[in-house]
């Protein structure tokens, strides 16, 4: 890390509640995995005790083939596990409209076929389907990334009362826990650069569902009423494509919504949508979601460059560029797709999409260990998670590296399965739930 870019400016300010803070409204959230980065939006479960080791023949409680494709995290409340998938409809005619362009060659490509955009509720104890709903059936208007994109890349989100399924350009849908459709919202079609596809998960906090709609057209952020889907507020964003999930944090007695962006990082008042502060943008294609600890919010990205900004909320007001609100920054070895893990005050960052790991003191930016290669997981698109004093890093090739959490590097296990993993895991009770390209695994000691 460059000394020029490391600015340790003291304590991070007053405490706050993450939202992440679903648990501020329902303390049951801490038991489960209600959103894609867990109950506190940090990638951590305080209560889970998943196994250290597994294989296809060891500690697999159940394994279920999931139709179609998707790369969203399984989300869990009670005994229900929710997963989104897009299932191609066989023998569909080519979609109407303009022909799509290949990402590999500048030539027309066949339009994608019709898909069934589906939410499934499974019993997390045995993997049996409790209910399944097709939210919409139609052809996508654009393609998606050929390497890791799907037409169901967002994760569901739940608070134990409703479950929200965002298929973005194909609509946003809210169901009760028994699968009854409560409302649906169509925000239009996104136009993504190079047809890299969509995949931004909403944030559910209190009585609002917050959606960031960044693309090549008119970008905005909108808060939808949790019970009706009606718009509570909307704010224009002069942004291009982003995929990061917004982070709701409570500070100074009020909630705010922190968002990543290429042009600017921004925070909005949760109740009104008023812009509270903004600063210099990250790299293009911001994908990692922000994390927060004790009044400090950390935003990062890593496409065609590297950027990390740690923002002290106590000092953040209006334009924070080059202000005391910037606690520390980093210009190297930041993640492209995986979001950071924030576990017991330590920030875990993967370099690009590789299994090369660096850890920092989250509040000061002081490194612990740097550029540690995880040989078992050379390619990583999933985000690491933590529980029971361990860090779990699933790789594309099907191996999950297990490390000891803490300031010193120690590899504990490398667990190989037959599937490959782009989706991030969920941790509840004594299990880790791993969504592969084909199968969903429940890994738990028998």
Instruction: Write out the two tokens for 69.
Output: 């494709």
Cβ partners under 8 Å of residue 39, min gap 6: 20, 22, 23, 29, 30, 31, 32, 33, 45, 46
Cβ partners under 8 Å of residue 253, min gap 6: none
Q: What is the pLDDT of residues 278-296, one digit of tens each?
A: 999 999 999 999 999 999 9
**Number of domains, the chain:** 1
pLDDT at 19: 46
Q: Model-level pTM?
A: 0.91
Q: What is the pLDDT of residues 151-207, one digit of tens each?
A: 899 999 999 999 999 999 999 999 999 999 999 999 999 988 887 788 899 999 999
Q: For residue 273, what is the domain's CATH number?
A: 2.130.10.10
Which residues form the domain of 116?
3-444
Q: What is the pLDDT of residues 42-79, one digit of tens each?
A: 999 999 999 999 999 999 999 999 999 999 999 999 99
What is the rounded distance in angstroms from the CA atom of residue 234 to the CA atom of residue 223? 6
Cβ partners under 8 Å of residue 413, min gap 6: 52, 53, 401, 402
Q: What is the pLDDT of residues 239-262, one digit of tens each?
A: 999 999 999 999 999 999 999 999
């Amino acid at each position: 890390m460059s000394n020029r870019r490391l600015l340790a400016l003291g304590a991070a300010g007053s405490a706050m509640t993450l939202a992440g803070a679903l648990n501020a409204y329902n303390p049951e959230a801490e038991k489960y995995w209600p959103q894609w980065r867990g109950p506190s939006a940090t990638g951590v479960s305080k209560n889970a005790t998943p196994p250290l080791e597994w294989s296809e023949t060891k500690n697999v409680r159940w394994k279920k083939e999931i139709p179609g494709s998707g790369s969203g995290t399984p989300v869990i409340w009670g005994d229900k596990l929710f997963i989104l998938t897009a299932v191609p409809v066989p023998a569909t005619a080519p979609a109407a409209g303009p022909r799509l362009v290949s990402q590999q060659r500048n030539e027309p490509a066949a339009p994608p076929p019709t898909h069934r955009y589906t939410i499934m509720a499974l019993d997390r104890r045995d993997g049996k389907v409790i209910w399944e709903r097709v939210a919409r059936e139609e052809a996508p208007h654009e393609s998606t990334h050929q390497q890791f994109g799907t037409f169901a890349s967002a994760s569901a989100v739940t608070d134990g009362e409703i479950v929200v399924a965002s298929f973005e350009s194909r609509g946003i849908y809210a169901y009760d826990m028994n699968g009854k459709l409560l409302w649906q919202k169509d925000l239009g079609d996104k136009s993504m650069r190079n047809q890299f596809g969509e995949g931004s998960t909403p944030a559910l906090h209190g009585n609002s569902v917050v959606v960031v709609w960044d693309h090549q057209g008119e970008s905005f952020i909108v808060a939808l009423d949790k019970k009706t889907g009606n718009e509570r507020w909307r704010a224009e964003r002069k942004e291009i494509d982003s995929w990061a999930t917004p982070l709701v944090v409570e500070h100074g007695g009020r909630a705010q919504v922190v968002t990543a962006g290429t042009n600017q990082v921004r925070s909005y008042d949760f109740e009104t949508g008023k812009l509270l502060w903004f600063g210099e943008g990250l790299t293009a294609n911001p994908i990692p979601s922000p994390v927060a600890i004790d009044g400090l919010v950390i935003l990062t990205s890593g496409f065609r460059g590297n950027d990390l900004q740690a923002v002290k909320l106590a000092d953040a007001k209006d334009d924070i560029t080059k202000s005391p609100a910037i606690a520390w920054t980093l210009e190297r070895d930041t993640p492209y797709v995986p979001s950071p893990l924030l576990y017991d005050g330590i920030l875990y960052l993967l370099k690009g999409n590789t299994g090369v790991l660096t850890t920092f003191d989250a509040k000061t930016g002081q490194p612990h260990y740097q550029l540690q290669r995880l040989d078992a997981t050379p390619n990583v698109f999933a985000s690491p998670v933590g529980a029971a004093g361990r860090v779990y890093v699933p790789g594309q090739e099907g191996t999950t590296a297990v490390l000891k959490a803490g300031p010193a590097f120690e590899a504990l296990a490398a667990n190989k399965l037959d599937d490959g993993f782009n989706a991030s895991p969920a941790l509840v009770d004594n299990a880790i739930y791993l969504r592969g390209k084909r199968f969903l695994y429940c890994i738990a000691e028998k």
